[in-house]
């Protein structure tokens, strides 16, 4: 047993002062330090430095580790030129992305307090790194392929990858999951089979959805910038799916939709009615010029996530939350800071169906300790000071073990 004490603890009912948490791999009790100390006299005591706030470990629901080598290869500014540059540079970028490089990015997430991440994997290359990473990983096996002719081959490869992630050592804390690349890039044959697999094995399911205006135009009318793209790379002029068909494929199983920057209010409300959620990636959206997701009107839960270094400059969840403060510059800043922290803790845990993300009895003992530069003058501002002053967290625990 261990007992950790901090000036403040972030709990589902707000920040609580001068309390401690007793934990092993899960949280056993929350209460005054003296009481826990007398109840568990053999426990290891962990006293955090002054002005520390104990948070549940942060959760980054959507990242692509395999693009960790990108620095200047991919073209930022607008979606279609970016996607074109991904096609041109993908093999080089993925090819030169070593395990050491990906592990360093896992460690950079850890330094920002991320104890769980959702890794989208196109090829399965990251599995070894994810098994060795200190964090919990929801391993999203991604399915991509719009050409019907290759569907069987692609599906066979996908099933193999799902199987590999299902048979990881329990110690590695890998949770297998399924990702559909996007409505324009996945043939409905594959889409329905993949949703079926997720349902059958109760796996978390995710999909990029309506990220750009170009995607919308292509899916609605077979027009726009995607037309030349599909002519060039696939010698086709017709989309394999449309918005309605894609949405309805998920009607009976909740999914985590990534971006949705070009989804209409009606579509977003429909997603909400079916119990879906959204991954909101503010820096990726800005760098690819796809506009702002109006998080203030969403009726469904959302997480803030970094996406990969294919459309970002770091995998720090604090860099991402600070970016969100600026992207959503018309929202009241204190309330936004509170909502952002909720989006990467309890909401993200619910989205990934994990028993963490909250400091509450029975939850997994994943923590990040944030140390503020001085005692907060007003308690109602702790969330904002946390976002503004945290470049790196002070320490991190996963399943009760100190990992940073
Ligand atoms: C495909 O594999 O069919 C595909 C990949 C990226 C964009 C569009 C289609
Ligand atoms: Fe993504």
Query: Cβ(144) to ligand 1 under 6 A?
Result: yes
Cα 282 to Cα 312: distance, rounded to the nearest angstrom: 10
Same domain, 41 and 63: no
Domain boundary pick from 351, 377, 392: 351
Cα 333 to Cα 342: distance, rounded to the nearest angstrom: 14
Report the CATH number that the domain containing residue 31 is assigned in CATH. Answer: 2.30.40.10
What is the residue with the minimal CA distance to atom 7 of ligand 1? 185
Compute, in angstroms, the gap from residue 182 CA to the centroid of ligand 1.
9
Cα 396 to Cα 276: distance, rounded to the nearest angstrom: 30
Compute, in angstroms, the gap from residue 15 CA to the centroid of ligand 2.
32
Closest by alpha carbon to 102, among 79, 81, 124, 75?
Answer: 124
Packing angle of the helix pair 151-166, 188-201 (nearest 10 deg): 20
Could you tell me which residues are beta bridge partners of residue 136? Answer: 116
Ligand nearest the Cα of residue 61 is 2
pLDDT of residue 183: 98
State yes or no: is 211 an active-site residue. yes
- Whole-number Cα distances in Å, 237 to 84, 150, 159, 186: 17, 18, 29, 15
Same domain, 118 and 232: yes
Taking the model in full, what pTM does it have? 0.98
Cα 10 to Cα 376: distance, rounded to the nearest angstrom: 14
Label residues 358-396 b or e (16+ Cβ within 10 Å = b).
bbeeebbbbbbbbbbeeebeeeeebbbbbbbebeebbbb
Same domain, 125 and 213: yes
pLDDT of residue 119: 98
Same domain, 254 and 122: yes
Q: How many domains does the chain have?
A: 2
Which of 145, 149, 183 for a ligand 1 pocket mutation test, highest count of atoms within 8 Å of Cβ?
145
Which atom from ligand 1 is nearest to the alpha carbon of 187? 3
Could you tell me which residues are beta bridge partners of residue 206? Answer: 179, 256
Domain that holds residue 337: 58-351
Coil/strand/helix, residue 46 = strand
Cα 125 to Cα 121: distance, rounded to the nearest angstrom: 7
What values do phi and psi take at 28, rounded to 5? -95, -40
Do residues 274 and 251 touch, judged by C-beta distance below 8 A? yes
Cα 360 to Cα 383: distance, rounded to the nearest angstrom: 19
Domain boundary pick from 315, 330, 351: 351
pLDDT of residue 272: 98
What is the residue with the minimal CA distance to atom 1 of ligand 1? 145
> Is residue 48 within a helix (H) or strand (E), and if so which, with residue range?
none
Per-10-residue mean pLDDT, the chain, length 404: 98 96 98 98 98 99 98 98 98 97 98 99 96 98 98 98 96 96 98 98 98 98 98 97 98 98 98 98 98 98 98 98 98 98 99 98 99 97 98 98 98
Query: Cβ(146) to ligand 1 under 6 A?
Result: yes
Q: How far apart are the first and last CA of the chain?
A: 19
Compute, in angstroms, the gap from residue 79 CA to the centroid of ligand 1.
14
Same domain, 224 and 247: yes
pLDDT of residue 142: 98
Same domain, 155 and 302: yes
Cα 384 to Cα 297: distance, rounded to the nearest angstrom: 21
Same domain, 215 and 305: yes
Catalytically annotated residue among 66, 105, 142, 211: 211
Do residues 334 and 380 touch, judged by C-beta distance below 8 A? yes
Ligand nearest the Cα of residue 145 is 1
Coil/strand/helix, residue 186 = strand
What is the residue with the minimal CA distance to atom 2 of ligand 1? 145
| Length of the chain measured in residues | 404
Same domain, 337 and 386: no
Report the CATH number that the domain containing residue 137 is assigned in CATH. Answer: 3.20.20.140
Beta-carbon contacts of 147 under 8 Å, excluding residues fewer than 6 positions away, are 187, 234
pLDDT of residue 146: 98
pLDDT of residue 220: 98
Domain boundary pick from 310, 335, 351: 351
Which pair of structure tokens corresponds to residue 243?
């918005």
Compute, in angstroms, the gap from residue 94 CA to the centroid of ligand 2.
15
Cα 118 to Cα 204: distance, rounded to the nearest angstrom: 10
Which atom from ligand 1 is nearest to the alpha carbon of 185? 9
pLDDT tens track for 287-344:
999 999 999 999 999 999 999 999 999 999 999 999 999 999 999 999 999 999 999 9
Query: Cβ(145) to ligand 1 under 6 A?
Result: yes
Same domain, 150 and 197: yes
Compute, in angstroms, the gap from residue 185 CA to the centroid of ligand 1.
4
Same domain, 290 and 388: no
Do residues 73 and 17 touch, judged by C-beta distance below 8 A? no
Same domain, 168 and 227: yes
Query: Cβ(147) to ligand 1 under 6 A?
Result: yes
Same domain, 300 and 269: yes
């Amino acid at each position: 047993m261990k007992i950790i004490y901090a000036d403040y603890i972030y709990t589902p009912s707000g920040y609580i002062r001068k309390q401690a948490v007793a934990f092993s791999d899960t949280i056993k009790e929350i209460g005054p330090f003296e009481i826990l100390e007398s109840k568990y006299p053999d426990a290891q005591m962990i006293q955090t430095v002054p002005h520390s706030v104990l948070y549940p470990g942060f959760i980054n629901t959507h990242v692509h580790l395999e693009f960790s080598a990108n620095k200047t290869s991919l073209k930022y500014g607008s979606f279609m030129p970016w996607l074109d540059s991904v096609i041109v540079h993908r093999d080089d970028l993925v090819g030169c992305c070593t395990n050491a490089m990906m592990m360093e990015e896992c460690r950079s997430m850890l330094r920002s307090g991320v104890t769980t991440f959702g890794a989208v994997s196109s090829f399965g290359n990251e599995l070894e790194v994810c098994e060795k990473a200190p964090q919990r990983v929801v391993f999203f096996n991604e399915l991509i392929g719009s050409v019907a002719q290759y569907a069987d081959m692609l599906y066979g490869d996908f099933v193999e990858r799902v199987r590999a992630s299902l048979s990881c050592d329990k110690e590695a804390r890998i949770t297998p999951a399924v990702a559909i690349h996007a409505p324009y890039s996945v043939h409905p044959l594959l889409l329905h089979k993949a949703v079926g697999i997720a349902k059958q094995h109760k796996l978390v399911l995710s999909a990029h959805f309506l990220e750009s205006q170009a995607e919308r135009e292509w899916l609605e009318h077979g027009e726009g910038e995607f037309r030349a793209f599909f002519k060039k790379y696939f010698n086709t002029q017709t989309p394999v799916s449309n918005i309605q068909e894609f949405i309805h494929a998920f009607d009976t199983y909740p999914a985590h939709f990534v971006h949705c920057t070009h989804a209409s209010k009606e579509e977003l409300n429909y997603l909400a009615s079916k119990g879906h959620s959204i991954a909101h990636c503010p820096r990726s959206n800005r760098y690819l010029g796809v506009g702002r997701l109006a998080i203030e009107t969403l009726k469904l839960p959302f997480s803030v996530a970094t996406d990969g270094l294919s459309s970002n400059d770091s995998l720090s969840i604090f860099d991402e939350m600070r970016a969100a403060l600026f992207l959503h510059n018309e929202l009241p800043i204190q309330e936004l800071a509170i909502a952002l922290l909720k989006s990467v803790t309890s909401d993200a845990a619910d989205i990934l169906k994990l028993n963490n993300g909250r400091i509450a009895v029975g939850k997994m003992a994943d923590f990040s300790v944030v140390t503020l530069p001085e005692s907060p003058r007003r308690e109602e501002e702790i969330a904002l000071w946390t976002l503004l002053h945290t470049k790196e967290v002070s320490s991190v625990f996963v399943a009760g073990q100190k990992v940073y």
